Structure 1
Amino acid sequence: MSNAELNELKQKYVAAGAASPATAFADRAENAEIWDADGNRFIDFAGGIGVLNVGHRHPKVVAAVKAQLDKVMHTCQTVMPYEGYVKVAEKLSHLVPVRGHAKVMLANSGAEALENAVKIARAATGRSNVICFDGGYHGRTFYTMAMNGKVAPYQSDFGPMPGTVFRAPYPVPYHGVSEDEALRGLKMTLKTDANPKDTAAIVLEPVLGEGGFYPASKSFLEKIREICDEHGMLMIIDEVQSGFGRTGKMFAIEHSGVEPDIMTMAKSMADGMPISAVVGTDKVMDASGPNSLGGTYTGSPTACAAALAVMEVFEEENILEKSRTLGEKLAARFGEWQTKFDCIDNVRNMGAMAAFELISNKTDRTPNPELAAALCKKAREEGLILLSCGMYGNTIRFLMPVTIEDSVLNEGLDIIESCLESLV
């Protein structure tokens, strides 16, 4: 079917809240390129929102999924378990830097992982409250909506959010929130809203994802660890977007050396297959009773096969080094643009988790979300898929596959530069 025919069906049958505004429909993809239903080619700088760090349809992952399809597609692992689930748990327990011996539960999505992380934290501490941060994004289920540090579009139409979720400032010095002010805000939250003796966990992203690609400093993460230890609260690190090699290490928290009690991950864990994980210290993970965690499809055989293949690809193709190298290339180009264009500021990257701000004025750093939207729109028209993000909607983020070929990368960056030249 053509794009036009598919759009007609979309308008008629897909719920407005779930329908993509895009009018091109993916037909096939390879590494960092997508071809639509009309045969048009797109360079993919979005990576399925950070899902495709090893590229669209990595051959090793495709082969692993096909092989699994010839064996078992589904049994529900709580009814009759299978090798893939326990092998993924074993691998993750050795990879994830939580305190002590790690145990694992698998789920289907990042939001499910966060929901279960909170359940586990409550079971382990006997407490209810959770503290999250401004700008944080944790999912679209009801509890994770409440945890998100931004109202629109995630909470706007859905009535009251669940209680026992409290908020603290996230340090973004560029927008006037220093590390000291963020810590002062957190301590005030513990005094005025979330009594420490009733608070199960502090949940944060080591690098904000939807919130703007702002990394938390090593010292800030160390302070969060200290505060959690002081009050007997658990530290939950959300690595759904920053994990699996995006920042040049397997997980962003590794840059700080801080060991959380629980970590969540998803997205690039299985190169497009739906899977997520909660990994935590064994005593914490074992706190809830029999059959208290899981679901019909959690850790499906095909998704586990994909995840195991992804972890092999990381070892065989030195993906972490590729992430660091890609980040250096992006940083160099961003630096040129910051000098060339008055509208670009605050260029930044942690490995290949890279971004810059579009602003109206460098003196007062006025965000320019209209320009960000215009750039993403024009780039799409020129065959480049590009995403914005951030509390102000003015950050351009880069989530292309880490495996992107240099020629494709440079072609995409040239499109951005050309679009900027025509827009400003």
Structure 2
Amino acid sequence: MNGKVSPYKVGLGTLPGPVYHLPFPSPDNGASTQEAIQALDRLFEVEISSEEVACIIVEPVQGEGGFRLLDHVFAKHLRKVCDERGIVLIVDEIQSGFGRAGTRFAFTHLGIEPDLLLMGKSMASGLPLAAVAGRECLMNALPKGGLGGTYSGNAVACAAAKVVMEVMSDDNLAQWKNTQESLFLETHDRWKRSNRFPMLGPMTGIGSMRGIVFEDTLNATGAEHLATLLSAARQAGVLLMPSGRKRNVLRLLPPLTISQEHLSEGLFKIEQALGTLQEILAMHKARETE
């Protein structure tokens, strides 16, 4: 279902079942709410009847898409459309859930409530566990044992998740969010104001789920800049990941419980890697001049 061809669909052929993709309207990209609403209307008019649509699945904050927050007006429109047409609204919080957006779940920023909620990753503090929660009428529609899997009910992972939820108080969430968000914003602003790194674009996301867009320059594309940075950062001791359709958005996703000292050290190493990137660009420019 992922809307990203590489690396998730290359060589796999056509996936079973019809899946349709719509524009993702966000303050962090160029897609507008009106554009997305028109695309949804067209889908029901041209591609498939709404009566044949089982569900609409959306991330409140895109993960692979580049840490982009869904426009709250479009989120409410989706909720209204699903209610009117009998479609199940599923919110995917596998990346954004459990404190990443500064709240237990990111959908609370959008003023909506899903019919089904997908959870995973952070909920068991690294142990393998995922879960689905939803409205009683949906969760009770399956026969006993109809929803499960190989690792369902893993006792150790469930015990870890129980502790995670106990530790995740509103006070702790606010502290973790404020510490990371303020440091990310201040550091990004300082890097931009220094004018040392022309490839640095805007910061995306919300709370401590943040991305930095790398833009094209005369020397290279944003994706090429980021690929070089990832290699330089690895040499400096920081493991980073790209995101976005063009793989040009740097993900900032440290553990919520990281100390401010370790977080500052990590950002300092990224700044050093950016300096290395600038040196590489200067070398390439010198060679072109010669």
Q: TM-score, normalised by structure 1?
A: 0.62
Higher relative contact order, chain-length normalized (CA < 8 Å, sep 6+)? 1
**Equivalent pair of 2:90/2:115 in contact (CA under 8 Å):** yes
**Equivalent pair of 1:243/1:250 in contact (CA under 8 Å):** yes
- Displacement of 1:307 in angstroms is 0.3
- Partner deviation per Cα, 1:235-268 (whole Å, 9 max, x = no partner): 1000000000001000000112201111100000
- Displacement of 1:173 in angstroms is 5.7
Aligned with 2:93 (options 236, 239, 243): 239
- Aligned equivalent of 1:384: 238
- Aligned equivalent of 1:192: 46
Q: Distance in 2 between matches of 1:423 and 1:176?
A: 28
Alignment of 1:21-420 (within 5 A): 147-172=1-26, 175-315=29-169, 318-340=172-194, 341-361=197-217, 368-420=222-274
**Equivalent pair of 1:265/1:278 in contact (CA under 8 Å):** yes
Q: Distance in 2 between matches of 1:378 and 1:339?
A: 22
Matching residue's letter, 1:419: A
- Partner deviation per Cα, 1:205-258 (whole Å, 9 max, x = no partner): 000001100100211111111111121111100000000000100000011220
- Displacement of 1:174 in angstroms is 5.3
CA spacing shift, 1:312–1:157, aligned 2, 3 Å: same
- Partner deviation per Cα, 1:47-85 (whole Å, 9 max, x = no partner): xxxxxxxxxxxxxxxxxxxxxxxxxxxxxxxxxxxxxxx
What SS class does the counterpart of residue 180 from structure 1 fall into? helix
CA spacing shift, 1:173–1:311, aligned 2, 3 Å: closer
Q: Distance in 1 between matches of 2:150 and 2:246?
A: 38
**Equivalent pair of 1:327/1:351 in contact (CA under 8 Å):** yes
- Displacement of 1:172 in angstroms is 4.4
The runs of 5 or more residues in structure 1 that have no matched partner are: 1-146
CA spacing shift, 1:167–1:381, aligned 2, 3 Å: same
The runs of 5 or more residues in structure 2 that have no matched partner are: 279-290
Q: Distance in 2 between matches of 1:400 and 1:282?
A: 35
Q: Distance in 2 between matches of 1:376 and 1:216?
A: 27
- Aligned equivalent of 2:282: none
Q: Distance in 2 between matches of 1:297 and 1:387?
A: 27
CA RMSD of aligned residues (A): 1.8
Work out the number of aligned pairs and report it: 275
**Equivalent pair of 2:97/2:106 in contact (CA under 8 Å):** yes
What SS class does the counterpart of residue 261 from structure 2 fall into? helix
**Equivalent pair of 2:229/2:273 in contact (CA under 8 Å):** yes
Q: Distance in 1 between matches of 2:189 and 2:44?
A: 40
- Displacement of 1:321 in angstroms is 2.7
Matching residue's letter, 1:223: H
Moved over 4 A (4+): 172-175
Q: TM-score, normalised by structure 2?
A: 0.90
CA spacing shift, 1:356–1:296, aligned 2, 3 Å: closer
- Displacement of 1:297 in angstroms is 2.2
- Partner deviation per Cα, 1:365-393 (whole Å, 9 max, x = no partner): x9510111111110010111111111010
- Displacement of 1:194 in angstroms is 2.4
